[in-house]
Structure 1
Amino acid sequence: MKHSLTVALKNQSVAVERFLRVVRHRGFNLTHFQLNMDDGQYHVAMTVDSDKPIHLLTTQLNKLVDVKQVTLENLHQQAM
């Protein structure tokens, strides 16, 4: 299932590296990634795909010191 996430991070390159490492270690495939800087922090808009429950990823992201906020929006796949 695909999930769309928006994450606010501290404005440090190491924060982005830690964040991406968690996504990879939790077994989620990154299908879209956009990084913007605003108000002195990074804003990441991304889409992940996995059969695993999304809470396994969001829980771990929220534990990172560099993560300020995680917002989740489910994407519904349409049958053709």
Structure 2
Amino acid sequence: VYISDHGESLGENNIYLHGMPYAIAPDAQKQVPVIIWSPTSNNIDKSSLISTIDQPVSHDFITPTLLNFFGITTDEVAAAPTFFKSTH
């Protein structure tokens, strides 16, 4: 799982920085890519992964997703949103 910690303005509209106040920050600073790579025999429920493609997600999804993927259950993240569900 790769997710950037923040966006960066690289000259769009003559802005070269990150960390502007959220209310005026351009989308390039507020929306970051998420890449999930795994072999095909990975126990990932593909329909749950596909359903999140166009949905807003958060860094908060990382821990519950990885715990779910490795079959670890805790009350703290039992109902937390994830990038995908595991089939095991």
TM-score (norm: length of structure 1): 0.28
Higher-Rg structure is 2
**Structure with greater strand percent:** 1
TM-score (norm: length of structure 2) = 0.26
Using CA pairs under 8 Å that are at least 6 residues apart, name the structure with larger relative contact order, 1 or 2.
Answer: 1
